[in-house]
Amino acid sequence: MSGKGPTPSGPGGRSVAVVGAGAFGGWAAWHLLRAGCQVTLVDAWGPGNSRASSGGDTRVMRHGYGDDVLYLRLAARSLELFQEHERLWDTPLYDPTGVLWLVHDDDVAARTSQHRFVEAGIPHRVLDRDTLAQQFPQLGLDDIRYGLLEESAGILSARRSCAAVHDAFEAAGGRVVRAWAEPGALQGDQLDALTLSDGARLEADAYVFACGPWLGRVCPDLAPPSAPLVKPTRQEVFTFGVPPGDTQHVPPALPIWADQGERFWYGIPGNLGRGFKLGDDTRGAEIDPTADERVVSQAGLEAARAYLGQRFPALVDAPLIESRVCCYEESPDGDFLVDRHPAARNAWLLGGGSGHGFKHGPALGELLTQCLLGERTPETRFAIERFASA
């Protein structure tokens, strides 16, 4: 497991070790392999594991980012890649249920999202309150002004996607190592190796750290304590059971919905057969992603029930059938981190999902590959400098 293997010929022409097999690291490893690199993918618990921010069954695919064209374009590219790889791997990864944005008052983000949808050709419809009530009688609409239905959005199969990328990577000749990995020593401006949890060294020409909520722990010296690279936060998700034979609270009768009111609640009806998924996007307390137990709070459950009764009155007495505590890896400003390590010229950092990252995994893996191979300049917004100066 130690030592550097032979470097292959091809457009990549180098060996790369990628740390982290989640949505970011897995797709980066896949793109690097397809570019001709010899790639080793290292992960302590495997793709889509329950500790990771890429764990769980489902995530939301959407383009709505207000006036943020960069994120809209990244999401659109990712959707192309998800759909391309569905066909390539003959594995369902995406269900286009649509996403219904529930708009309170004169929401600037909703208006600018709609404007950007028009510019980018993203299929959508604006639904006034009467149309909402007619098309979605399940909804309590007392505080809702109108709806914005993003028709090409939908459900991503999260755990299945991580596993599919991992399996395709391994089948195509990528090497997989199950271990905890940390940076070795600097030799001038080059990282010399990874140190693995079994004591072995893994050497490569280049290194990618895509460690999700562990990025700040693996690379602790890259930002001041006041603004760490990422802060893992505790996020509670609840799944309720709909009545027997119910067809009104599952797709196609009800799409994914997002409610940016006083708090940002979202839901994935059906949740690939697991129930009515409800989540609060409000950032929770900091969590140790390795050691902390994942038990939801009574206060969180009570808040979820109260919201469920307000927005979906027929489910006011729905039983809780599943719950889980997942984690975000929150960057100080919510933007991603895609940049070269400031001290190690052969190391790259990929992270800062901040709760919205999963959908961008394919495009960010592609972006990282292009930057590492010198085909593209990193985005200024995703640079590490902004953390160091915070």
Domain ranges of the chain: 15-53+159-229+333-388, 95-155+232-330
CA distance 368 to 360: 12
**C-beta separation of 227 from 384 below 8 A:** no
CA distance 71 to 62: 10
Q: Which CATH architecture has domain 95-155+232-330?
A: 2-Layer Sandwich (3.30)
Q: According to the model, what pLDDT value does residue 363 have?
A: 98
CA distance 310 to 292: 32
| Partners of 148 in the β-ladder | 101, 126
Q: According to the model, what pLDDT value does residue 262 have?
A: 86
Strand positions, DSSP E, 228-319: 231-240, 256-260, 264-268, 276-280
Q: What letter does residue 239 receive in the DSSP assignment?
A: E
Report residue 20's pLDDT band, with 50, 70 and 90 as the boundaries.
very high
Please state the pTM of the whole predicted model.
0.94
**C-beta separation of 283 from 300 below 8 A:** no
Report residue 94's pLDDT band, with 50, 70 and 90 as the boundaries.
very high
Q: Is the pLDDT of residue 157 over 60?
A: yes
Q: According to the model, what pLDDT value does residue 389 have?
A: 52
Give the sign of the dihedral formed by CA 53, CA 55, CA 57, CA 62: positive
Taking residue 334's Cβ as centre, other Cβ atoms within 10 Å add up to: 11
Give me the chain's average pLDDT, please: 93
Quick: pLDDT tens for 257-280: 999 888 999 999 999 999 999 999
Report residue 228's pLDDT band, with 50, 70 and 90 as the boundaries.
confident
The reply to whether CATH 3.60.20.10 applies to domain 15-53+159-229+333-388 is no
19-288-179 Cα angle (round to 5) = 30
Q: How far is CA 160 from CA 29, 205, 209, 284, 329, in A?
A: 17, 30, 22, 26, 21
Q: Do the domains 95-155+232-330 and 15-53+159-229+333-388 match in fold?
A: no
